[in-house]
Amino acid sequence: MKTHPSMPGSLLLVTFLLWTPPSLAADTTGLKAGTARIDITPEKPVTMFGYDARKDLSTGVHDPLSARVLAFEADGKRLVLVSTDLIGFYSGTADYLRQALLSEFRLQPSELFLTAIHNHAGPALAIDPQRGHANNLEYTEKLKGKLIEVVRQALGGLEPVRLGLAVGSCPIGVNRRELRVNNRGESSIVLGRNVYGPTDKEVLVLKVATAEGKVKAVAFDYATHGTCLGGRNYTISGDVLGLAEQFVEKILGSDVIVPAFAGASGDINPWLRAETGFNTDSGWVPEPVLQGTFLGEEVVHVYRSIRQTGPADKIGTAFVMLQLPVKPPEDPSAKKSEGPGTRPLNVTVARLGDVAFVGLGAEVCTEIGMAIKAASPCEHTFVITHCNGAASYLPTKEMYVQDGYEVKTSPFGPQAADIVIRESIRLLHGL
């Protein structure tokens, strides 16, 4: 098991902690699960999110967006995993939508993973009339109702299940922190393609089936940005992860729910990226379809390799809002006595038998996710980003020496990543 250096306790401020341990008594009913899917494709043109230069409204829809729910219950404990084909819950929408679901279903904060696949070809969410287009405000309000509806369907369809898990690999994700040297010998880190940089190729696949063997869900986790479609694309799509979900559901049947989760991919892009749209040249396979199908086929291959499923009778969950150190003030005249300050980041963890889930409310670089997996007490760990929050980029401390886009746009200081790794592992061990 990989270890990580301890950080001084003064750098960590825990403002809220809710731990709900698994039951110590044997559960006679075992694990139950319910699934549901609902269409969340915009009905009107909307502003899209992910590229600052893109200002106009969307012009069409290539493929539908969905919200998919996989809900578990055992011994009075619940775990609700919500995957949405969106970029994330920015502009204050994370708390807005989370609170609606927590209140409606009387969930503990630790029992809800509200996640997005970081799709840059989807709508911007908005609740502030001063900042959001009217169509986006309407879309977000309808989304809230749809999320409540789809979670209700999943919780209403609980039945005994067994779990199976297997691991595959896919090469479409590539490190994007490329070193370039100009003609004056000056080096910089740019958004490009670093084929030798760290990447997490793991495709983690969870099979959820009834005792009779009927498959209810096939959930998968993979680390890549949803940026195959670039800033000049105005067509709504699920991009790589969304198209992979759709492909697997087409192969396995529409009654099987296939929620995707975006792994730690703050510095990972798809191999082919920033396309202006779907290429219609004769014989050409559009890049989002090509890469989504590639990933989807690996998910299917891994799923088919799962020969056995087993029971799980306990659910453990925990939630913490970390107060992480931010960058020092750039203004040298700022008072040192005020300190650098802190910024919150939500961490949600759960455990089903020997399967763990770590939800991080930020855009987390891949080395952080790999470190959490390596130190996890569970054999398999879903690291899920854009979960229950949107706290911007979280780079590793080494990246602050190199600089680059992730560091420039992050509010956090160099120590923040090690704190998140340490606390995620601590919470998992507590389960």
For the chain, give every domain's residue range: 9-430
Q: What is the pLDDT of residue 332?
A: 59
Q: Note the pLDDT of residue 331.
A: 55
Task: Determine the pLDDT at residue 313.
Answer: 86
* 8 A C-beta contact, residue 388 and residue 359: yes
How far apart are the C-alpha atoms of 102 and 165, rounded to whole Å?
A: 28
Contact 181, 190 (CB under 8 A): no
How are the residues of the chain apportioned to helix, strand and coil, as percentages rounded to the nearest 5?
Answer: 25, 35, 40
For residue 403 the two structure tokens come to 């600089």
Per-residue pLDDT of the chain (431 residues; tens, 9 = 90+): 444 444 443 333 333 333 333 332 333 359 999 999 999 999 999 999 999 999 999 999 999 999 999 999 999 999 999 999 999 999 999 999 999 999 999 999 999 999 999 999 999 999 999 999 999 999 999 999 999 999 999 999 999 999 999 999 999 999 999 999 999 999 999 999 999 999 999 999 999 999 899 999 999 999 999 999 999 999 999 999 999 999 999 999 999 999 999 999 999 999 999 999 999 999 999 999 999 999 999 999 999 999 989 988 899 999 999 999 999 877 555 555 455 699 999 999 999 989 999 999 999 999 999 999 999 999 999 999 999 999 999 999 999 999 999 999 999 999 999 999 999 999 999 99
What span, in angstroms and rounded, lies between the C-alpha atoms of 276 and 231? 7
Please identify which residue in the block is written with the tokens 């969930």.
Answer: 107
